Structures are given as C-alpha cells and as structure tokens.
Structure 1
Amino acid sequence: MKRSVQLAVGAAAAVISAVALTATPADASGSHGADVYVSPHGNDRLSGTSAQPVRTLPRAQELARERAGHANGDITVHLAAGVFDLSQPLKFDARDSGVNGHRVIWQGSRGTEISGGKQVTGWHPVPGKPGLFSAPAPKGLDNTRQLYVNGVREQRAQGPLPVTVKATATGYTASAATMAGWRNPTDIEFVYTAGEALWNIQRDGLGQWTEPRCPIGSMSDTTITMAQPCWDNSTKRVLFPNIPGRSVNMVGPYDLTNGRHPTYVENAFEVLDTPGEWYLDRSSHTVYYMPRPGENLHTADVEAPALEQLITATGLHDVSFRGIQFEYATWLTPSSPEGFSEIQAGYTNTGPDGWAVQGLCQFVPNGKCPYASWTPEPGNITVSGGSGLEFSDSAFTHLGAAGLRLADNTANTMVRGNVFTDISGNGIEIGGVDQPTTGSTHDVQVLDNHLYGLPREFHGGVAILNGYSQHDVISHNQIDHVAYSAISMGWGGWPDKIKVAATPNNSHDNVVSDNLIHDYMLSLDDGGGIYTQGITGSSLATGEKVTGNVIYGQLGLGKGVYTDNGNTYENVVGNVIYGVAYADVGTAHVDYRDNLGNNDPTLIQGNYWEQGDKDGNNKGVITQDNHLLDNPSAAPKSIVDNAGLEPAYRGLLSRSATGNGVPAQPTRVGAFAADGKVYVTWNPSYAFNNAALDSYLVTAGSRTVSIPAAQFDKQGYAVVDGLANGTSYVVTVRAHNRFGASTPSLPAAPVTPGPYLERRGIRRGPTVEQ
C-alpha cells in the first residue's frame, strides 16, 4: 500500500466551492443520479454508482462522457480516498466538458491521489558495497529522474569530477582516463551551476539565473564527447558580428565553456557514495539506493515517477478538479541528447539548429519567429485552449517538470487554494511566448495558493510564470523558500540591449496584487520577487499593476520588484519591500520605440521601501509619494495584514504535501582560509520536509562544527578552526532538522590555512563543536 499524504478538504473545500466559477453543488443540481463514483477498490464492470463504484479513472471518464449530455445539472465524479495509479496520461478533450451550462466536477476525498509513479520493491544488499541496496526496476520504468522514499525526494547520485577537463569543439579532454570506464556514459550529466558562493566566484555559464545541464555522448580514454544538440545549443549561440560578446538571443552568454567547467557530475553509478543517494542502471534494469540511518527498505514506500504527464486537456471547458493530490511524474527530455540548454525561467534552446535560428527571428537569416520563442518547460498537468476550468483545494507535488501549465489560449480559468511544492521546475505556467500578438490567454486567476520549496532540480525556474496574456490576476498567494524569482511576468524585452524596441505584444491589464513573498532567490541571482520584462500594455492605465504586495528576505543579487529589459507601462504602487540584496524597485531602461531618448514609462508610487529614491520624473519613470521604511514593523498594517493568503485559505500553511524527512542539501558552498581556520559560506536549504532547520553542520577534513540556523541567517558564514596551517582542506555543509542531516553539499574548492592570511582582516565568528 502506498503512503498516502492526507488532504484536508472539509471547510476549505466548502469555501472554494462557494467562490469558484459559480459552480452548482451536485447535490442541488437534480442530476445526482448521473454522478459517477470511482474507488481504487471498485470494479470497472460495475455501474459507477455510490454502491457500485468503478475502479479506474479512464472508466470513470467514459461514464461521465456518456452521462453529461443527458444531465439536467452538474455531474460530479466522486474520487474516493486512495491512490489512482495511471499507466498512461489521462487525456481530456471537448467531449469531457460540461454541457448545457453545467459543469463536470472531479471531486477528491480526503487522501485522493493521482499518481504516475511505480513502487520499487524487492530490495537487497549489494555484495561488496557496504550500505548499498538494489532492487529490480518495476515493469514499465524505463527511465526516471526522481526517486522518493516515504514521500521525500532523494538525491540522484552526484559528485565532483574526478579529473580536470579542458573544453574542445565537441566536449572535453580530461586530465586522466578515470571516467572512461564508467558504466552507461550516455546517462551521465554535467551540471553547470552559477558559481560558488562569495569567495570562490566563477563565471556563470549561460547566466547567473540559469543552471544548464548536458549529457555525455561518449567517452574514450581522455576524450569526452558531449551529447548533441545540447552541446552546440550551449556553446555555439550566434554572436552579433558588430557587437563583441553579445549573443543574438540577447539573454545571456553565448558559450557555456567560456571560462567555465562543469561544476559537478550527476547520474553516475561511480559517484553513488552517500546515504540518501540513488541511481537507476537502465542497462541492467536495476535501481540502487543507499538508505539513510534508520530507513528500512523492506517497509518503506519507495516511488519512482514513470509518466511524464498525469493529465492533458485540449479544448476542455467548464470542468473542475478539486481535492486531488497530483504526484509522481517525471520529465525525460533533459536526460536525452537535448539536455537542458537553459535560456531563462525553464525555457530552453532545442533542436539540431536551435543555437543558430530558434527564436532569433529577424536578427539572423532564416531565424525562427517570433523573437524569443524558445521551448517552454512542459507541465505534468497541462491545459491547452481550455476555458472555464478550475483547479482548487489540491496539491501539486513530487513532480519532475512544471507543476501546472495553462498553455496558449487558456481563458476564464481559476487556480485557487492549492499547494505547489517539491516540483523540479516552474510551479504554475500561464500562457506562452510564441503568439505575442495573436494569442488569447486571458482572465486567468491564480488566487490564494501556497507555493514553496521549489524548484528542486531546474533551479532557474520560478513559482509563477506568466507569458503574454490579458486580464490575468495573480493575487493573495504566499510564495516562500524558492530558488530563484517568485513571480515572472512578460517576455520579449531583451532587444533594448541593442537599442531596438521590445517585441510588440497584446498583453494588457494584468494584475499582481496582495501577494506575500519571502525567502526567495535562495540559489541563483539576477531575478526578483516580482520580475517583469517586455511591454505590459498600451498605457499606464492598461499596463501591469503591481500593488499591495509584501516582499522581503531576498538572498541572491536582484531586486524586490524587477522592471527589466523593455518593461513598459508597469505600475508599482503601494507595496512593502525590504531586506532586498540590490534594489527594492528597478531598473530604468531606454524606450526604443521612438528616438526621443526617454525611458520606458513606469509609475513607482506610494511604496514603503528602503530604497529612498527622491520624487521625480526620470524621462518617463515617475517616482512619487514613496515612504522610507527604516524598520519593517513600521509598514502599514493594512498592507501587511492583507498580503498573502486570505483568512479562509490560511490552513494551507499547515497542509503537508511531502513526507517527513531531512532537509535538502545547501548549495554554492565557498571557503576562505585564514590562520588555522577556514571561513565558510553557502546558500541555505529551502526544502525542509515538514521540519524547520535547526542548524548547519560544516565539515573541513575530520573536523565538524555546528552553527544554529538562526545564527547563519543573521551572519551568513561559519568558521571551522583548529586546522593545520599548510594542509589543504575540502569543505562541505549539511543542513539539519529534527529528522537528521541532509546529504553533504558539493564541496567547495580546496583551501589551505596559513598564518599570512590573517592579515586580510577577517575575524573569527562563534562556533560550537559537534
């Protein structure tokens, strides 16, 4: 029996039903006899009544289709508690829609789960490998990128490269043939992070907002050939002939290898050496896992996501999904030769000539239009061309792509009262970027959701991503503990970097209001709490409204409200912003739609911030009536109390959608040596698995110190002393909560203490011996 994460429906569900899309409760519709009942313990040969439920969702779907046309009210498909395993995606189309002004409601019960995973059983110790266990991969599991033990995401085998490498046109030359004998080389990935923290800064690959990955194609002796097209798409991006160093896509660097090496290797059996790590050997159809202390694989629920999509819906209308936990889906494109050649926010360069033409439109011969139409991250639940849809009182968790994708031409749809967490990429995606002037994504409402602890794998993802759209409302959500930006709006503004106007688009009248955003950009840089770029309307009256949000606790370099390239007609009014690393609101950009030399029109008014800009008009950027906030407690109570989840939805903050376990490992560890000690800093963990962090364990050689989490949050570093001068040390960090310690971080570059280093002026901070 699979582990079931319970969902609280009850009173919260009643509130949602009352407000969502004016849906009529089935009990009052007069069509109760048309309802369909489905249970994991039912039988598909039965009639689907409450006394004779069917067993599978596809059979329930068939019955709902048959009955919808004859119903005189809403039809409810009642999903009993338990796990509904899917062997293939559940595909909806217009035939599944509500008819005659009525709705079809897929209503979960307490503990209803729709799963694309397969349970892994039959574990036994691996001879000659102390602590390592293996099990046969379940039938139908040909590949996956995730493994969960008792509802907790575990770490795919990772480690530093055992060799140094030098880039070539097709990959790398290694300093030794160490890796040539590794098993399954085409499954191994090189990962390029955005530099180590503070003292070990490196170049940022494809931008400090990205974390690209490319698989290996083959290895022979010291020659490492990288997989295509990922390699070309990440190293050969076209440059403007007359602008040195400026790629035609205008978003970031043109070459992944320009001063950079892979940060670490992932998905190699040879680096599986730490409790909490796992590896799928596809050639032998075997899953390997090194259990953590106290884990019993004979009783544990071990789940491997097999499906890439749980639900797809095309042309669907007037349908609600309520009270369901969507879980255990993967995404395999990054494991293919396409890899993950990231542009921004999960969009990637793909195809054999992606580097040369994809999204480059008028800027190169044969460029694909429109400009910036790169490949979006798919959703594990995907809607295309839908209208009048509702997703409420549900959980989106244990997912390997984006959680919920509301693709091009989605309209009049509500996403309310849900939890989004433990997702590899973006949380919610709205609209697209390949129909800037003809697309019609509109009137999408994303309200009162809690998004946190994401993205877990593709760290450049965002909690809510909105492309080109009209009349969308993103309001009263709480977004916290995320790797990069919390909300990203708009697209196509980068041409201002070459003094060209942003891509024309039909976006207008979008609202981002009353959200509570904190502890964001915990892994990457150059983003914001609310990030927008491109044209947002035709005037300040129709442009994007960013109002009443409370934003604080940024770590990475960026801004609270980031008005980036080509960001035209945005209103930033009445927000509370503090604790931001770079700027509360910014920046101004020249408006190249004419030759007047003005900036993109922007209104920044009535905010409570630490930035303190004077009132004025900077060529169209109007700053007025803002208030210097010298203490967060002085922010207006009316704004602070109104931001985030509304009272009826605050129970989401205590709803668990993951298993209980240790936190995720810290990232971007950096170390600096001094006399007999090393100073260490890192990016904090942001996924906690239902127990708050209490401390970090910092190890240098054989010595480990503990620093309380609250102390690290305040001072930002730890000290390991008692070290020998002249000795090289490798430093790692583990995050700790009441369930134990995470897997160790990837190590910082080795450092060597010495007495001469103390003259640099760094002083010792407090430590506690572990």
Structure 2
Amino acid sequence: MIRVRRRAGRVAAALGAAAALAAGTTAAASTGSSPDNHRVTTVFVSPWGNDRDSGANPGRAVHSLQRAQQIVRSLDSAMRGDIRVELADGTYQLSQPLALDARDSGTDGHTVIWTAAPGAHPVISGGTLVSGFRPSGRTSGGAQIWSAPAPAGLPSREMYIDGHRAQRASGVVPVTLTATPTGYTASSDLMASWGDPTDIEFVYSGGDGYWSLHTGGLGAWTEPRCPIASISGTTITMAEPCWINSTQRVMRTDGSGRTVNLVGPASVGNHELPTSVENARELLQQPGQFYYDAKAGRVDYIPLPGERPNHADVELATAQTLVSGTGTADAPVHDIAFSGLQFSYGTWDQPSSPEGFSEIQAGYTITGADGYATQGLCQFIAGGTCPFGNWTKEPGNISFNHDQRISFSGDVFTHLGAAGLDLGDGSQNATVKGSVFTDISGNGLELGGVDDPEPAVAGDHTVGNQITDNHIFSTSVEYRSGVGIDVGYAENSLISHNQLDHTPYTAISLGWGGWPDKIKAPAIANSSHGNVVSDNLIYDAMQYLADGGAIYTQGITGTSLADGEQITGNVIHDILDHGHAIYCDNGSTFMTITSNVEYDNQNDWGSRHADYVPPATGSTDDPLDVEHNYWQQGDRDSTARNVTVASNTIITGPQDAPSAIVDAAGLEPRYRGLLSVDPGRGHGAVPYAPQQAAAFAGEGAAYVSFTPTFFDQGRPVTSYTVTASPGGKQVTVDAAAYLKTFYVLVPGLTDGTAYTFTVTAGTSDARHGRAGTEAAWAGAHSAPSLPTGAVTPGPTTALPAAPASASADVGVGDVSVHWNPETVAGGTTPTLSYDVTLTDQKTGTVTTVTETGKTEVWATKGRDTFAVVGGLTHGDAYAVTVAARNAAGLGPAASAGVVTIG
C-alpha cells in the first residue's frame, strides 16, 4: 500500500535545493558523456498510480517502485539519455525491498535517477501502519495505556507517532541479581510473572567517570544487550549465543591480561549485572513509552500529554532493508542516483534474536555459537577465523555493495533501526552529498568493511568515495555505541564539509585492525590510503560513552605520510566524554593532522603508540605529523620517536584561530539550509531523558550529575529538573548553565535520610504543536532518567588532595595548565572544580580561573586535565598553581612552576 503524506514545505524546499545542486553536478557530468544525454526518459510513480499503466506521464503513473523498476529494466539496455524515475508526493510503503542489481544500472554513460517530483517530499517506508487505538487500562502510577491490534510476528523494535520516535518500555531491574554461568538468580520471582520473558532484554551500559554508576558494558565505548531466554521462579536464563559471547571471551595466556580479540574485557562489566531492562509490558510507566507484543499481535502505548493515538499516524518499523544494490566484482551495480527522497521506518532483527548485540566497537558484534572463541581471532588462537577483527557488521537499512558511481543527494535518512546507509565492500566512486542523517538507531553512514583488508581483485576495493556537505546528528539513538560516519578499510575517501553534532559516541571513525600493538604485534596490513577528513564541523560528540573522539582512527592508514590519512581544516569543540577530539588509537600509522581548530574538549589530540610494523620493533612510535593546529591542549614541540608535534598554537577559543578555517568548516554556504531540516519535529515530540545519573551527598544537600540529552527529537533542551525521593524536592537549572558545572546542587535535604534522584529534560519550544494545542506543549519535558543510587546527606569535612603532575605549556599571551586529579574514583568527596592561579612575579597581580565541567567533575586519577588562561602579559613570569575544590572547600595547591609568557 502507498499512502499520501503531506510534509512541511520548508523541509521539501531545503532538500529540493540541495538535491538540485547535486543533480546539476550529475547532469554536468552526463553532458560530456553523450551528445544525446538531453533525451531524458521519465517514468512517473504516484500513490494514486496504477501498475497496469505505462508510467509515461503523470496521468498514467504507476503505483509501486517495483513496477517502475521493471519499466527501467526494459529501457536501460540502450540508453540514449538519463532515465528519471519521478516520485510524486506521498508515502511509498514497501511490501518488499527495492532490490537493485546490475540490470538496474545506467548504461552508455547515462544514469538512472530515482528522484522526487518538483516540490514533492516522497517517503520510502518500511513501516506498518497501526490503527484502532483504544484505552485499555492504567499503569500502577495511574497513566492511561492505549492499545491497538498489530500484525503478529513482525520483527519491529521501533515505533513512531506522527514522525517522532516512541521509546521502548524500560526501567531499572526490579530485583537484585546474582550472576550465574547461564544468567542470574533473582532475589524474588517477580519477573517470572511477566507476560513474555523472551521479549525482555538486559542492557549493559559502558560509560565513564567516578560519578557514573554505568561502567559496565564490554568497554567504556560499548553498550551491549542480551535477550532473556526463560525465567523460572528466581532463575533467569539468558539467550544463547549472546550470553556466552558477552561473558566468556577468551583470555590470552601470555600474562598481558587481555582477551584474545584485544578489544575490551572478557565479560560484560560490573559483575555481569545489567544497568537497565527493556521491552516488557510491565515496564510501561512513562508517557511516550510503548510495548509491541509480537506474539499476541498488539501494541500498548502511553500517550504524551495532549496526544491522541487514535488520530495519529502510528508506524511500526518492520522492514530490515528498504533499498539494496547488490553487485559483484565483475558485474557491479552502477550509475544510479537517488535525489530528494526520504528513507524511513526500517528496523533490525538481530538484537531481538538469541544473537543479541554482543558488541566489539562501532556496531560490530560477535555472533555465532562459538563466536567468542573463534570469530576474527585468526593468528592469535587455534581455530580462529581470519582476518583478524572480522566481526559482524551492523547492516544498513539502505545498503549497497560492489557498486560504482552511486549517488545520494538531497536525501533524508531518518527513523531507521540499523545503520542508515551502508556503502559496503567494493563501493567505488559513490557520492553522498547534501543529505540529512538523523534519528537512526545505529551508525549513520557506513563505508567499506573489515572482512577484506587487502582485496586481491580490483572490484573488491572500496575506493574513491565522497561524503560531503551532509548534516549528521542525533544518530545512534538505540545502539548508542554507534558513530556518525563509520569507515572500515577504504582508499582515497573524501569526508569533507559535513556537520556532525549530538552523537552519543564517536562522530567519524576510520580504520580497523590496529589492536595487535597492545601485545607488541604489528597492526593488520591493509590497503587503506589516501583518505582525507577535511573542513568538517563537529561538536557535542561523545555525549554518552567514552574512549572515542570527534575523529577516531586506528590501524595503518597508508604507506607513508604522503598517502596516509590527512585530517585538516576541521573545527571541533565540546567533545564531552573521555577520549580525544582527534584520536590516533592503536596502530594509527602515517597520519597528518594539520590546521584544525579545537576548543572546549576534554582532550584535543592523542595519542602516540609504539610501532611494531616490521622493520620497526617498538623502539619508535607510529609515524605521525601534528602541526599548525589551533588548540588548548598545548603539547610542546617535539620530533621524538617518529612523531612530529610542531608549530601548534594555544588558543582560548575560536576567536583566536584563523577565521578562514573557522568560517569554512561545516556545510558550504549553499547547503546550510539543511540545518533547518529536522524530521523529528513531530507533534508531541519530547526530548529523550538524560542518562547515567549519579549523586553524592553533602551536608544537608546532594550533588547530582548526569550526561545530557543528545536526542531531543527537534525540541532543543532548555532546562534540566532534578527530583529527590523521598520528599519530591526539585531543582531546575538552565541547560547551558548545567554544561558549565556538570552538577546540580539539591539543598534542603535531611541529614541521615537516604535519597535517590531522577532527572528530566525540559523544553520551552511550543512551535510545533497542532493548532489550538500550543499551550499544551509549552514546557514539555522528557521522561525521568533512571534513578541514581541512594546517598545519605551528612557532614562533609575531608578536603581534596593536591592535584598531581601539574605543569604548564606557554603560548602567546596565554598558558595551558595541565594536571592529574588526585581523588580516586568512587571517593566520598568528589571534586567539583579547580582553581588555576597565576601570580605575576613582577607586579604581584593574581589571576585565578575556576575550571568546571565534566572533565573536572568526572575525571579519574591519572587522567590529564587542562585549562587555558589568557590575557597574560608578554615577557612577564608567572607562578602557576592548581587546587581542587569539593563540597568541603578548597584543598592544597600543587605548583606547575614559574613560566615566562611568550
């Protein structure tokens, strides 16, 4: 069935402009290839069409994409110009994927273009419409539940109401768990009474910081999840093979303390205890939550205030593939363009299956009954499969492989349940330009794979692809360890002039196979070279997980600095969690990092790694060139061990960097209209709840910290409200102010009483309510976070110790001061801020800067922390000290020495 959907004119206009720009580029390329290219043949498709018609004009439009495909195949064997498949406005609900192969390709230098009609915004949908909602009961808290029939047995994990994402029913685990070899023993049989245990998933959050309780996962960069197989009384048996793949990863026997896969621990952290539980009707408590009972064929939903599900467009995402293009090395699918289209309502079934989501990194998982013991372990264990690191890739809802000259321009990838777009092995000379990627469960865009490091056949290489002028934001909503752009082994890729923001983990990830240097072995040889990451604007990445970056690379990137990875002209700021703005992880060889602007990050650049690629033996580092950057980290010039760090400039903010770099980063001017395209701005949308809430006690008070909302569904967060239990004491703070301190003080509590806290995200945006209901949406807020652990207020007297390893790097009129926190993670009096003090030795003038934020609040012992102090006098000498402040007061200062300002 194909339905009509009218969309906001500004969305269609912005996308249409971007698509027209890119289409003009395509047409120009076609002009030179054939004197007859102006003879464009158009096949018309419409929700009102009829597949028995010819598609020759709008009045004879066909109805389905598959019928249009048949017509194209009848035309493209002897093309004398481009073939244009023009989609009228409406929603095209797929009963099966649009599966393209070499027969659907453009020929004789021409292109098959699947495009929106002028002014239209067609949606290619993998959704199943749900209707007939009726009130069906109330939660224990009194919230009204609405239910509707839905087809049984669908693979759906996602539901959308009027274009905004509902949240799966979730909450805290309601019993105390003790890990067993096959799962858990529960403190009571409560969960045994729940309707369908096989629907339930346990989630294991990674994370960072000594306030966060969410430090499980399979590394701080992961958030694995496993389904339950059965519950009998107090015995919870977990689904296999997810459980064994997530708890029994094989350890090395060489004393290194590492797993054979070299990536993360042997088992989900925190003694295998989940941090939350999802997908049971019994968990339905909050407005905006849903539960799909696939066996009974029913959807339960708690509406948001003012929402009427019986009058809404409710979609279960049910198709795992919307569009695919599958070629071979000898017969690639080629010369196909997609322009002005929206791809929506795809899902992914693996996490719901017994395989679950046993994660390695960036959406790659371990699968199979013996995956934990063999998959991708290659030379490092008997029976290991090769190549090393070949774990199971997250699929794309739109997927191509062995393709040439495929283009996406002015398209929208949104409301998707796997990766958005996957250009896999053998993708060559593809273009993704002027498009929007948002509200995607996993990775935004994937390029290449990790299964073939050195392809022997030319058609298997992933080469010459360009990803430019796209807006990628609020991705990895469900699998929060995903990344905005994920590149495996690829050659001559250009990733340029994109804007990436509000991602829970890494924004751009390149390369693979570098982990063997952890055991003094060479990184995996591969064909990667010539990849360029330039002029991107990246901010608000790393909002949830840790040990990643704005631009993250690992593995060999080329054969020399000349053809190795080039990272240049990027502007990167407000990268929140532990990692690096530009992160050279294990095996990162032959990278050039130059002319980037970086500020307000936890780390601007890191790090060096010993080189074990023959003939190197670890006595030198992987060759890197880090020059002419503008940053706050302030590393001193050095040419030691094959790493050049030189001519970098300390800045206090972007105003100190060349405006030519700052102004050029991100979308080029003609594409900046894409920044107004946000398909999540549906009626009733509310931000997602903050995460990782944690607290510690003060005297008559508590301090509450949490990671902010990165997925706001188009309604920017303006405030956060912390609520104490018992008593209901509330404190509301401005969202921007919270990001400066990264804690909320809740006063007026009773010493000796144990409290827990929840946090909601608020928005004052009322622009998107339906007529007559704007007031209902003003001040809307998210569901509450999971509660913190209990803390008991009381007297606080212990001052923090002096910071360790204090030092100072001098700039021009400023100084970058570094130190390590001395308070150990989990301490009773965590640090709230640091006072950095500079005393002018000539005039006696004292300058004190108070540094606050997530780095200061969550940093653990041994982590480098820094702050920049500007406005200093050239030629004057300053004594530099740094001291920590906690709830009890300011501790003793550590000296960073006396420095003379340049």
**TM-score > 0.5, shorter chain as reference:** yes
Of 651, 665, 685, which aligns to 1:629?
651
Of 738, 755, 762, which aligns to 1:736?
762
Deviations 1:128-168 (CA, angstroms, capped at 9, x unpaired): 55433343443376231111111111110001011111111
RMSD: 1.9
* 2:109 equivalent in structure 1: 101
CA contact (8 A) 1:698 1:733 kept: yes
* 1:236 equivalent in structure 2: 248
Of 638, 656, 660, which aligns to 1:638?
660
Partner-residue secondary structure (3-state), 2:574: strand
Deviations 1:610-648 (CA, angstroms, capped at 9, x unpaired): 121222212001111111112321111010111100011
1:69 aligns with 2:56: no
CA contact (8 A) 1:77 1:107 kept: yes
Q: Using the TM superposition, give the Cα deviation of residue 203 of structure 1 relative to its aligned residue in structure 2, in angstroms.
A: 3.9
* 1:579 equivalent in structure 2: 600
* 2:822 equivalent in structure 1: none
Tell me how far apart the structure 2 counterparts of residues 128 and 470 of structure 1 sit (CA, whole Å).
56
Long gaps (5+) in structure 2: 328-332, 766-776, 800-828, 830-884, 890-902
Q: Using the TM superposition, give the Cα deviation of residue 12 of structure 1 relative to its aligned residue in structure 2, in angstroms.
A: 2.7
Q: Using the TM superposition, give the Cα deviation of residue 204 of structure 1 relative to its aligned residue in structure 2, in angstroms.
A: 3.0
CA contact (8 A) 2:557 2:588 kept: yes
* 1:768 equivalent in structure 2: none
CA contact (8 A) 2:251 2:259 kept: yes
Of 337, 342, 345, which aligns to 1:328?
345
Q: Using the TM superposition, give the Cα deviation of residue 210 of structure 1 relative to its aligned residue in structure 2, in angstroms.
A: 0.2
Tell me how far apart the structure 2 counterparts of residues 663 and 523 of structure 1 sit (CA, whole Å).
15
Tell me how far apart the structure 1 counterparts of residues 578 and 138 of structure 2 sit (CA, whole Å).
47
Tell me how far apart the structure 1 counterparts of residues 533 and 630 of structure 2 sit (CA, whole Å).
17
Partner-residue secondary structure (3-state), 2:20: helix
Partner-residue secondary structure (3-state), 2:671: helix
* 2:123 equivalent in structure 1: 113
Q: Using the TM superposition, give the Cα deviation of residue 127 of structure 1 relative to its aligned residue in structure 2, in angstroms.
A: 3.5
Instruction: Specify the code of the residue in structure 2 equivalent to 1:48.
Output: G
Deviations 1:727-752 (CA, angstroms, capped at 9, x unpaired): 22221111111241011111111222
* 1:7 equivalent in structure 2: 12
Partner-residue secondary structure (3-state), 1:433: coil
Deviations 1:224-258 (CA, angstroms, capped at 9, x unpaired): 11000000000110111122531000010011155
Of 384, 393, 397, which aligns to 1:367?
384
Q: Using the TM superposition, give the Cα deviation of residue 652 of structure 1 relative to its aligned residue in structure 2, in angstroms.
A: 0.4
Tell me how far apart the structure 2 counterparts of residues 262 and 340 of structure 1 sit (CA, whole Å).
13
Tell me how far apart the structure 2 counterparts of residues 274 and 566 of structure 1 sit (CA, whole Å).
46
CA contact (8 A) 1:7 1:112 kept: no
Q: Percent identity of the aligned residues? A: 49
Instruction: Summarize the Cα distance change of 1:372–1:533 in structure 2 as closer, same or farther, 3 Å threshold.
Output: same
Q: Using the TM superposition, give the Cα deviation of residue 670 of structure 1 relative to its aligned residue in structure 2, in angstroms.
A: 0.7
Tell me how far apart the structure 1 counterparts of residues 145 and 270 of structure 2 sit (CA, whole Å).
40
1:716 aligns with 2:742: yes
Partner-residue secondary structure (3-state), 2:257: coil
* 2:611 equivalent in structure 1: 591
Tell me how far apart the structure 1 counterparts of residues 730 and 125 of structure 2 sit (CA, whole Å).
41
Of 577, 583, 589, which aligns to 1:556?
577
Instruction: Specify the code of the residue in structure 1 equivalent to 2:53.
Output: L
Tell me how far apart the structure 2 counterparts of residues 463 and 229 of structure 1 sit (CA, whole Å).
28
Instruction: Specify the code of the residue in structure 2 equivalent to 1:7.
Output: A
Of 673, 680, 690, which aligns to 2:704?
680
Q: Using the TM superposition, give the Cα deviation of residue 285 of structure 1 relative to its aligned residue in structure 2, in angstroms.
A: 0.9
Tell me how far apart the structure 2 counterparts of residues 764 and 88 of structure 1 sit (CA, whole Å).
64
Greater Cα shift, 464-473 or 725-734: 725-734
* 2:239 equivalent in structure 1: 227
CA contact (8 A) 1:188 1:265 kept: yes
Tell me how far apart the structure 2 counterparts of residues 359 and 681 of structure 1 sit (CA, whole Å).
39
Deviations 1:403-428 (CA, angstroms, capped at 9, x unpaired): 00000010010000000000000000
1:602 aligns with 2:624: yes
Instruction: Specify the code of the residue in structure 1 equivalent to 2:21.
Output: V
Tell me how far apart the structure 2 counterparts of residues 66 and 141 of structure 1 sit (CA, whole Å).
37
CA contact (8 A) 1:677 1:719 kept: yes
CA contact (8 A) 1:23 1:103 kept: no
Partner-residue secondary structure (3-state), 1:616: coil
Greater Cα shift, 205-214 or 121-130: 121-130
Alignment of 1:357-396 (within 5 A): 357-396=374-413
Alignment of 1:221-370 (within 5 A): 221-257=233-269, 259-315=271-327, 316-370=333-387
Tell me how far apart the structure 2 counterparts of residues 424 and 10 of structure 1 sit (CA, whole Å).
26
1:484 aligns with 2:505: yes
Tell me how far apart the structure 1 counterparts of residues 395 and 121 of structure 2 sit (CA, whole Å).
26
Q: Using the TM superposition, give the Cα deviation of residue 20 of structure 1 relative to its aligned residue in structure 2, in angstroms.
A: 3.9
* 1:693 equivalent in structure 2: 717
Tell me how far apart the structure 1 counterparts of residues 172 and 359 of structure 2 sit (CA, whole Å).
21
CA contact (8 A) 2:5 2:90 kept: no
Deviations 1:195-237 (CA, angstroms, capped at 9, x unpaired): 5764244543310000000000111111111000000000110
Tell me how far apart the structure 2 counterparts of residues 202 and 43 of structure 1 sit (CA, whole Å).
54
* 2:98 equivalent in structure 1: 90
Structure with higher Rg: it is 2
Long gaps (5+) in structure 1: 766-770
CA contact (8 A) 2:357 2:365 kept: yes
Aligned residue pair count: 763
Instruction: Specify the code of the residue in structure 2 equivalent to 1:261.
Output: L
Tell me how far apart the structure 2 counterparts of residues 764 and 645 of structure 1 sit (CA, whole Å).
47
CA contact (8 A) 1:568 1:602 kept: yes
CA contact (8 A) 2:796 2:887 kept: no
Tell me how far apart the structure 2 counterparts of residues 21 and 469 of structure 1 sit (CA, whole Å).
27
Partner-residue secondary structure (3-state), 1:640: helix
CA contact (8 A) 1:187 1:268 kept: yes
1:449 aligns with 2:459: no
Tell me how far apart the structure 1 counterparts of residues 27 and 268 of structure 2 sit (CA, whole Å).
47
Tell me how far apart the structure 1 counterparts of residues 367 and 618 of structure 2 sit (CA, whole Å).
38
1:132 aligns with 2:135: no
Output the TM-score relative to the length of structure 2.
0.82
CA contact (8 A) 1:459 1:484 kept: yes
